[in-house]
Chains A and B, each alone.
Chain A
């Protein structure tokens, strides 16, 4: 039987060959993660028997959006059908085993403990539905962060419709209380500054990472957050930012034009990061080693991300006023 260590070796051999192409890289991540989950499931089955009910293991964060870089950390959860404490015990075991497996196959554990090994992220469909409503009712900073994280979920192994059922609850609630859209954009409205008043790039000034720009917080997030908001608005269940772009109705032409920027950004990131050796450094872009042209196009991407986010807010405001 295949084990985690073998998968890790497979990763090490293979990843370089796909690290230059966004789609290929994410396809490879999916394969690797799926095979890891299969091992974990077999491992639990050998001790606890077959899964007692239908379930779905889903990934969130960059994995959920199919936007993983060479390195990424773990963000995942489980949803299962039916209420039974034994089901919960079983799937929590599965979550723990997957977390362990992912750590071996090259995915760092999540600092915030957003993992299926945490009972908070391993629930039945009914509990998940309650959780979604609780987050949206509470609507404070932390609960909306959790909600946004959850909304980027994508089923990797198991029953797709279990997750979709839960997402539908969110759409219904938001339609009932449209002011929540505004709360959601306020929640992700902070964009780390990437450009100064002279239009210059603003890399980190001190410490070991001096001279680097955090591509994730500064450049990527405005695109990701804007498209998540629009997906919520248009009830688009897809989790990938690119797919969300594609699924937007035609009247969003002014938004859709940013899709090419976003794709460029994803490939750009890979181009500069193929040599990165760990997760900590994977979001850093060293400004000095970029050519003048590259810097210019990076600036353009930063500006456009901000514009996109601003336009998104405006659209939501208009919709909420209606």
Chain B
């Protein structure tokens, strides 16, 4: 066997495990950012949704994305199970499993918008519909044989495909679900429903950060030329700049070096560089990360003011930073890297507005599709299922108990204490 072929496949399987491990990062990030009474639910449902996303991706998702294009989607290779084919220099199964991990990440991001108030049954149904109808369409447009890919849209590892798509579904969900009980006061001011464990959140961010080297690094799809090293470099720089910028801006404006904002800054840097990692110079990666860190702070404030309750900041971290990251190649893509990885150089390299235009079109079209499709699906679910939000009483006792029958922290909950006494 050709050693490079073998190395490519081993590399991508390693990257698959890294991307799958990012779910562990999300578990800690989300559980830490929410309250104790929902911790078991938030953590456990992620395992369930990875399961659901995997099954749907196997049945139809992969086929809709990478099957023979019939325009809006692909339409072949359903119920994937091939050990002979070779795709993009990889064993088909290796390519499949790597892509599956991305689909699962997009779904987990989308569920950020459900946090602390979505019914479990709504998670089940939306997991299926999002993985079958929402994500594959955008992925097909950009990564399959779709029209945005055809226009030379640059989205190396998925700022748009994975992060923006997930975030737009989360936005639809937060709008339909409405704010959590206690988030806003009568006079319109917002309360801080602080997460119960910043240590979990920080550790979650670090796990995501490490996983990102599989996410971005693996998107090279090969080891030849060891370009993944360069991708790792720009990824690391942007994450670092995001963390530094966010802590600085929140300290400068509010006087407090807020931890959740800092953590979101690192993630925003990672989300932003996801599209541009293979297209930009290291100095540009730093700028992309810095801007992402600033954006995430203002975005968090904006959504709070707009009365859109986003408990784990999915809209700011994955949505706003995803948009910025996608647009960033339109400014910063270098001629050499664009020639190597597709599309045109950016505005700053004399590429004119062409690539920026394509990137903007990609953001608008993908964002709109993901939002509208998710909104319609969730609205219909809301009607058919008699609501997708738990009752007030259930929300107050916590989703651990209402949806699963046991608390994530039984000793810390009043009811359980009484029983034990």
A residues in contact (CB < 8 Å) with B: 193, 195-198, 200, 202, 205-208, 210-211
Does B255 count as interface, using CB distance less than 8 angstroms?
A: yes
Chain B residues with Cβ below 8 Å from A195 are 255
Does B341 count as interface, using CB distance less than 8 angstroms?
A: no
Judging by beta carbons under 8 Å apart, are B253 and A196 in contact? yes
Judging by beta carbons under 8 Å apart, are B185 and A208 in contact? yes
Chain B residues with Cβ below 8 Å from A206 are 189-192
Shortest beta-carbon distance from A201 to chain B in Å: 10
Q: How far is the CA of A195 from the CA of B192 in the complex (A)?
A: 22
Chain A residues with Cβ below 8 Å from B189 are 206-208, 210-211
Chain A residues with Cβ below 8 Å from B251 are 197
Chain A residues with Cβ below 8 Å from B190 are 206-207, 210
Q: List 24 A-B contacts (CB under 8 A).
A: A193-B255, A196-B252, A196-B254, A196-B255, A197-B251, A198-B252, A202-B254, A202-B255, A205-B254, A206-B190, A206-B191, A206-B192, A207-B185, A207-B189, A207-B190, A207-B191, A207-B192, A208-B185, A208-B187, A208-B189, A208-B191, A210-B189, A210-B190, A211-B189
The residue among A193, A207, A208, A210 with the most chain B CB atoms within 10 A of its own CB is A210
Given A195-B255, A196-B254, 7 extra CB contacts under 8 A = A196-B253, A198-B253, A202-B255, A207-B191, A208-B185, A208-B191, A210-B189
Shortest beta-carbon distance from A204 to chain B in Å: 10
Chain B residues with Cβ below 8 Å from A207 are 185, 189-192
The number of chain B residues touching the other chain, given as a range, is 10 to 19
Q: Select from chain B the residue with minimum beta-carbon distance to A206.
A: B192
B residues in contact (CB < 8 Å) with A: 185, 187, 189-192, 251-255
Judging by beta carbons under 8 Å apart, are B252 and A197 in contact? yes
Chain A residues with Cβ below 8 Å from B185 are 207-208
Secondary structure at the B interface, as helix, strand, loop or mixed, is: loop
Q: How far is the CA of A8 from the CA of B187 in the complex (A)?
A: 31
Q: Select from chain B the residue with minimum beta-carbon distance to A211.
A: B189
Q: Select from chain B the residue with minimum beta-carbon distance to A192.
A: B255
Q: Select from chain A the residue with minimum beta-carbon distance to B194.
A: A206
Q: How far is the CA of A198 from the CA of B190 in the complex (A)?
A: 25
Q: How far is the CA of A197 from the CA of B250 in the complex (A)?
A: 11
Chain B residues with Cβ below 8 Å from A208 are 185, 187, 189, 191
Q: Which 8 A-B pairs have the closest CB atoms?
A: A206-B192, A202-B255, A210-B189, A193-B255, A196-B255, A197-B252, A207-B191, A208-B185
Chain B residues with Cβ below 8 Å from A211 are 189
Q: How far is the CA of A92 from the CA of B192 in the complex (A)?
A: 43
Chain B residues with Cβ below 8 Å from A198 are 252-253
Q: How far is the CA of A208 from the CA of B183 in the complex (A)?
A: 11
Q: Select from chain A the residue with minimum beta-carbon distance to B250.
A: A205
Q: How far is the CA of A196 from the CA of B256 in the complex (A)?
A: 9
Shortest beta-carbon distance from A218 to chain B in Å: 10
Q: How far is the CA of A241 from the CA of B255 in the complex (A)?
A: 29
Q: Select from chain B the residue with minimum beta-carbon distance to A198.
A: B252
Q: How far is the CA of A198 from the CA of B248 in the complex (A)?
A: 13
Chain B residues with Cβ below 8 Å from A200 are 253
Q: How far is the CA of A195 from the CA of B252 in the complex (A)?
A: 10
The residue among A195, A197, A198 with the most chain B CB atoms within 10 A of its own CB is A197
Q: How far is the CA of A211 from the CA of B305 in the complex (A)?
A: 13
Q: How far is the CA of A206 from the CA of B190 in the complex (A)?
A: 6
Q: How far is the CA of A167 from the CA of B381 in the complex (A)?
A: 73
Q: How far is the CA of A205 from the CA of B253 in the complex (A)?
A: 11
Chain A residues with Cβ below 8 Å from B192 are 206-207
Chain A residues with Cβ below 8 Å from B187 are 208
Q: How far is the CA of A200 from the CA of B254 in the complex (A)?
A: 9
Chain A residues with Cβ below 8 Å from B255 are 193, 195-196, 202
Chain B residues with Cβ below 8 Å from A197 are 251-252
Q: How far is the CA of A206 from the CA of B191 in the complex (A)?
A: 5
Q: How far is the CA of A193 from the CA of B251 in the complex (A)?
A: 11
Q: How far is the CA of A27 from the CA of B189 in the complex (A)?
A: 38
Q: Select from chain B the residue with minimum beta-carbon distance to A197.
A: B252
Chain A residues with Cβ below 8 Å from B191 are 206-208
Q: How far is the CA of A196 from the CA of B255 in the complex (A)?
A: 5
Q: Select from chain B the residue with minimum beta-carbon distance to A193.
A: B255
Shortest beta-carbon distance from A190 to chain B in Å: 14
Q: How far is the CA of A207 from the CA of B187 in the complex (A)?
A: 10
Chain B residues with Cβ below 8 Å from A202 are 254-255
Q: How far is the CA of A295 from the CA of B277 in the complex (A)?
A: 45
Q: How far is the CA of A207 from the CA of B185 in the complex (A)?
A: 8
Shortest beta-carbon distance from B256 to chain A in Å: 8
Chain B residues with Cβ below 8 Å from A196 are 252-255
Q: How far is the CA of A23 from the CA of B192 in the complex (A)?
A: 39
Shortest beta-carbon distance from A203 to chain B in Å: 9
